[in-house]
Structure 1
Amino acid sequence: MKDLKTIVHESAKIDFSQRKAAVATVVKVRGSSYRSPGARMLITDDGRWVGSISGGCLEGDALRKARHVMLYSEPMTVTYDTREESNQNLGIGLGCNGVIDVLIEPVDIQDINNPIAFFESIIKMDGPVALATIFAHDNEKEIGKKLLITPGATKLHNLTDVALEELISRDLEKLFDTKKSEARKYTINGKEKEVFIELIQPAVSLIIFGGGFDARPVSQLAKSLGWDVTVTDECVAHIAPLFFPGADNLSLCQREFVEHHFTITPYTACVLMSHNYEYDRDVLKKLLKTETPYIGILGPRKRFDKMEEEYSRENIILSAHDRHRIHSPIGLDIGAEAPDEIAVSIIAEIQAKFANRSGGFLKYRTGPIHQRDTASDQVFKQVYLHSYEHESAKSS
């Protein structure tokens, strides 16, 4: 979502009466790549771009290809072979060991179905959407055409191939459950078409309960990732704009009104770091009634244990689901001590949670690093824990 927001924001600055623009999207990867499918960049005819489709090795050539796209107003799909054994000039020396397809589309601001318009629609929906983009078709006029659906079956598209639309729609509906973005092939009347289907989810929304000095780097780091950040406290002096210049919302809210004052969705992470035990305890009680998948509590484990003991006396029993989403102590084990380091630990854990990853060392991962398969993640986690315990045993 961050790429889409950045592209829409930057496109609003372009004077299209003077400039032309194009959008490049990674639509298919075989092997390894720096960016996974769905990575995008906005390119203008004066040689500028925002976003990225690689670690910098493909952007230059994509810029050259984009000039052709902008000149003739025709989309094109470019294949880059970055394997070391490749004879292509771009592949020599890069060693990324992957074959990458990139769709480059012109931006015609007069066309209501231009890529930017689709991105704007996605952002306004403020919920998960499934998007399909054709990048290989026997009819070149179909390349770049899109189909978008929401969980509520709202549909937006500019496809003219009715048979293909029906096939794609079925796969897009399944995407909300599988959450597996990929390039798919469809054969109609003996002719093959390739379509990139992707699940685009809203940006993470972070609510920080407590406006202490150690909350400031958490807010700053979250904003650098494109997250929506709210900081709330019961003391107005703690949430001065001077302390949180990048936050989207600073809110003075008493603990008893938390669940009514904030919109907390499955895309909202909540961090309790007020250093006030009773405040954190009372806010946690409210958060348990919401859909947030992540609740992080700053402080030692015994602090949360005490909360749980008090809850039990009120006949509030934490479910297995509650225990899964509550993280206390908060953060990944990276040896963080200073506030900035703790912020890295916290944000990294939230990122891992929403990406359904275990947060271990990548060198112990058995599958591709961009893969988000639950089964392989469990293997990765077990290997990491085994290796960690082995190293600990050796050092003790």
Structure 2
Amino acid sequence: MKEINRILTVYEQIDHFQRKVALATVVYVEGSAYRRPGARMLVSDDGRWEGAISGGCLEGDALRKARQVMLDGKPMVVRYDTMDDDANSLGVGLGCNGIIDVFLEPIDPTDPTNPIALLSEFSQRRDRRVIATICRRTPGTGLREGSRFVLTEHPTDAVPNWLRQDMELVMQVGKPLTSIIPIPGGIVEVFIERLDPGIELVIFGAGYDTIPLTRLATEIGWRVTVTEDCIAHLAPKRFPEATCLLYADADAVTDKLAFTDQTAAVLMSHNYTYDLAVLTRLLKTEVPYIGMLGPRKRYEKMKNQWERTGCSFDASSLKRVHSPIGLDLGAETPDEIALSILSEIKAFFSQRSGGFLTDRSGPIHDRITTEQNAVFV
């Protein structure tokens, strides 16, 4: 989400009467690569770019080819084969051991359906959507390279039947997919990806250790709300990076917040009574992740207090509570603790264990395939 917003910011700064622009998107990866399908880079004809499609190895060549795309006004797919460092034609040792397809397309600022316009709409609405891009096609399909179809969580008949199943699959699992699909008149190669609004972090408590957590979370592109029942702690100068500062009592705060399936709530006020009241209310919401700073016995004390007062929650509700919060990194300082907390939250929403990658068998990134996958010829 952060990279998309940066691209949109740079795009808005360009004088489109004077400059031409193109968008490079990674649409297929076989083997290893630094960036995954969906990585983007915006390029202007004066050599400026924003975003990245590799670790720096491919950008130079992509810039040259993007200039040709801007001159011709026609999109193209460029394949980079980094399997053999000695044989690669770029003159650098890439070392990725993979095959990477990059879709380069000129941007027409007058076209309301151009990819930048679709990304801007997504950024404004912050919904979950799947975008399918026609990368290549045989003559006679009635489609053009760069045509796009959008599927949101609302019913639509704008997606053709031959594409709907794959788009719904990507909507369900969240992993990008490149498919070769036979349709009347020929075949098409389609890149399908899901765009997610990203993780939203709600921090209850505005103490000293909240500051590095807010700063680090916003640095990686998360939206952050900091809330407290002491307005003096919520001075904007203490949290200049925060998306929202909310002053509210513990008994009313959840009524003033909107939670999604990408919301993480973190309690770190160091005030037992406040945290107990907030946690009691959070467990009555659908927020998927609740983390609490402090020792395990603090949370156990809260559960004992619920039992004494006749307040009960089922096992599935309590499973959402992570206490103590964070991955076991040996964190000591507030900044290190912030890293530990954010690492656990990211692992939770990515459905990963948070262990060492060196101990992981198989590829780092999960992939999905369909029977229609093939090499386009």
TM-score normalised by the chain length of structure 1: 0.88
Are the aligned partners of 2:202 and 2:224 in contact in 1 as well (CA < 8 Å)? yes
Name the CA shift for 1:20/1:102 in 2 (closer, same or farther; >3 Å): same
Q: Show CA shifts across 1:83-121 (max 9, x none).
A: 126623238521201100111111111111111111112
- Counterpart of 1:79 in structure 2 is 79
Long gaps (5+) in structure 1: 158-164, 374-396
Q: How far apart in 1 are the matches of 2:367 and 2:330? A: 26
The SS at the match of 2:218 is helix
User: How far did 1:316 drift?
Assistant: 3.3
Q: Helix, strand or coil: the match of 2:80? A: strand
Cα distance in structure 1, aligned partners of 2:125 and 2:158: 12
Residue 339 in structure 1 maps to residue 334 in structure 2: yes
**Who is 1:64 aligned against?**
64
| Superposed displacement of residue 234, structure 1 | 0.6
Q: Cα distance, 1:189 vs. partner?
A: 4.5
- Report the identity percentage: 50
User: What displacement does 1:314 show?
Assistant: 3.3
User: Shift of residue 22 of structure 1?
Assistant: 1.1
**2:86·2:93 contact (CA, 8 Å) conserved in 1?**
no
SS of alignment partner, residue 361 of structure 2: coil
Q: Is the 8 A contact 2:204 2:228 kept in 1?
A: yes
Structure 2 counterpart of 1:387: none
- 1:313 aligns to what? 308
Relative to structure 2, which stretch is displaced further, 190-199 or 125-134?
Answer: 190-199
Partner of 1:282: 277
**1:328 corresponds to which residue?**
323
Instruction: Within 5 Å, give how 1:61-140 maps onto structure 2.
Output: 61-84=61-84, 87-90=87-90, 93-139=93-139
Distance of 2:313 and 2:291 partners within structure 1: 15
Counterpart residue type for residue 119 of structure 2: F
AA partner of residue 183 (structure 1):
T
Pair 1:55 & 2:68 matched = no
- Is 1:264 equivalent to 2:259 in the alignment? yes
In structure 2, C-alpha distance between the alignment counterparts of 1:181 and 1:175, rounded to whole Å: 6
Task: Report if aligned partners of 2:294, 2:324 keep a CA contact under 8 Å in 1.
Answer: yes
Contact 2:85–2:93 under 8 Å retained in 1: no
| Residue pairs, 1:209-224, within 5 angstroms | 209-224=204-219
CA distance in 1, matches of 2:152, 2:178: 19
The root-mean-square deviation of aligned C-alpha atoms, in Å, is: 1.8
Q: CA, structure 1 residues 190+86, in 2 after alignment: closer, same or farther (shift >3 Å)?
A: farther
Answer whether contact 1:82 1:90 (CA < 8 A) is retained. Answer: no
Taking a change above 3 Å as real, the CA distance of residues 367 and 359 of structure 1, as seen in their structure-2 partners, is same
Distance verdict in 2 for CA 1:91–1:296, change over 3 Å: farther
**CA gap 1:372/1:230 in 2 versus in 1, 3 angstroms:** farther
Alignment equivalent of 1:300, drawn from 286, 290, 295: 295
- How far has the Cα of 1:200 moved from its partner? 1.2
Q: In 2, Cα distance between the equivalents of 1:111 and 1:53? A: 24
Once the two structures are superposed, residues 325-384 of structure 1 have per-residue CA deviations (whole angstroms, 9 ceiling, x without a partner) of 2111111111100001011111111111111111000001112112278xxxxxxxxxxx
Bigger relative contact order, structure 1 or 2 (CA pairs below 8 A, ≥6 apart): 2
Separation in structure 1 between the aligned mates of residue 356 and residue 246 of structure 2, nearest angstrom: 37
Task: Tell me the equivalent position of 1:376.
Answer: none
1:13 is displaced (CA, Å) by: 1.2
Count residues in correspondence. Answer: 366
TM-score normalized by the length of structure 2: 0.92
SS of residue matched to 1:242: helix
| 1:393 alignment counterpart | none
Distance 1:156 1:341, change over 3 A: farther
Cα distance in 2 for partners of 1:324, 1:100 equals 40
The match for 1:200 is 195
Q: Which runs of no fewer than 5 residues in structure 2 stay unpaired?
A: 369-377
